[in-house]
Amino acid sequence: MSAGLLTEYLSPSGIDGSNYGGVNPGAEPPPDSGLINGLMTGSSFDFEPNMRYRLRIINMGSLTEFMFSVDSHVLSVVEADGTSLVPVNVHRVPIHVAQRYSVILTTNQTAGSYNVRAEMQTTCYKLANPNLNMMVLGTMTYGATPSTPNTQDWSDALPALCLDLSTSMIVPHIAMNPPNSTESVLVTVSFQQTFQSGGTQTLAFVNNTSWDADTTDPTMLQVSKAGIQTTFDQNQLVVVNNNITVVDLIINNDDDGSHPYVPRNLPA
């Protein structure tokens, strides 16, 4: 993001000058379009007939949930964020920011070209963009010369809310019952207008801490230099536990939009 756009985004009037309608400080500006493998249109997948292909779907965006589908082809979801699942068949895969799914697609329909669709969910947006192209199209072809598809989207309605696959559909292939927790940590994510700015700046907060780049002595550098430590400044959101324990990490999102939680260097 350019310095000019960032200044407008963080200003009280917002990226579009509307003050977010007075109720949505920090609302993200919608994009003009999405991409499939780097292209708004023209991404192509050339397959062989009567084969089973594993498609790895990754949402590399910073805002939008996509509904991924292939016309006339059922997708069998077999993996979510690195966890193998009991296969479940769906017409569309909802995929939020930073999420990863693997699906099995079988090329068992009539030979030809089919639309590959990644449809953005406009219900996730708090601001409007009159130039938004919400449907990104690619082409899958097998058993024929690639051509412009005339296939139809699935007829079942899209969900009205920005939701993941139902938790009842996401079942680990190898069941693992977690041990009883001995500690709970509450994490609340929100967007707030800061007192320091007089209410003119909106930042993301985790509990009561927002991110600020410390180029001289960042937290991770402190840990790597000093090893295990238990004392940190108040402006650092660090949970310290000196024992081997099981922690319930409870994450609440106070924002009106959907935001992913992505752990680093540990499974969740």
pLDDT, tens digit (0-9, with 9 covering 90-100), for 151-178: 999 999 888 788 888 889 999 999 888 8
Name the band, by pLDDT with cuts 50, 70 and 90, for residue 54.
Answer: very high
Whether residue 67 is found in the same domain as residue 13: no
Whether residue 5 is found in the same domain as residue 77: no
Residue 89: closest CA among 107, 108, 109, 69? 69
Whether residue 117 is found in the same domain as residue 83: yes
CB 53 within 8 A of CB 140: no
Lowest mean pLDDT among 10-14, 18-22, 87-91: 18-22
Q: What is the DSSP pairing of strand 75-80 with strand 202-206?
A: unpaired
Question: d(Cα 209, Cα 189) in Å, to the nearest integer?
Answer: 10
Whether residue 115 is found in the same domain as residue 79: yes
The arithmetic mean of pLDDT across residues 134-143, rounded, is 97
| Cα–Cα distance list, 151 to 20, 112, 113, 202, 262 (Å) | 39, 10, 8, 45, 36
Does residue 262 form part of some domain? no
What is the CATH number for 87? 2.60.40.420
Whether residue 39 is found in the same domain as residue 94: yes
Lowest mean pLDDT among 32-46, 61-75, 225-239: 225-239
Does residue 178 form part of some domain? no
How does the average pLDDT of the chain come out, rounded? 84
At residue 38, what is the residue type?
A: G
Whether residue 46 is found in the same domain as residue 123: yes
| Cα–Cα distance list, 54 to 7, 84, 109, 149 (Å) | 43, 13, 17, 22
Name the band, by pLDDT with cuts 50, 70 and 90, for residue 227.
Answer: low
Helices (H), the chain: 3-10, 219-226
In the chain, the number of structural domains is 3
3-state secondary structure of 191: strand
Residue 245 DSSP class: -
The arithmetic mean of pLDDT across residues 75-88, rounded, is 96
Residue 254 buriedness (CB in 10 A; 0-12 / 13-18 / 19+): exposed
Whether residue 116 is found in the same domain as residue 203: no
The residue range of the domain holding 21 is: 1-25
Lowest mean pLDDT among 25-29, 108-112, 166-170: 25-29
DSSP string of 75-114, one letter each residue: EEEEEETTEEEEEEEES-EEE-TT-EEEEEEE--S-SEEE
Whether residue 53 is found in the same domain as residue 118: yes
Question: d(Cα 213, Cα 217) in Å, to the nearest integer?
Answer: 10
Whether residue 194 is found in the same domain as residue 112: no
Does residue 149 form part of some domain? no
Chosen domain end from 111, 142, 173: 142
Does residue 57 form part of some domain? yes
Question: d(Cα 253, Cα 189) in Å, to the nearest integer?
Answer: 5
Burial 131-146 (b: 16+ CB within 10 A, else e): ebebbbbbbbbbeeee
Whether residue 201 is found in the same domain as residue 224: yes
Does residue 98 form part of some domain? yes
Return the structure tokens found at 250.
């409870």
Predicted local confidence at residue 105, as pLDDT: 98
Does residue 13 form part of some domain? yes
Does residue 161 form part of some domain? no
Predicted local confidence at residue 219, as pLDDT: 74
Whether residue 84 is found in the same domain as residue 126: yes
Does residue 39 form part of some domain? yes
Whether residue 189 is found in the same domain as residue 137: no
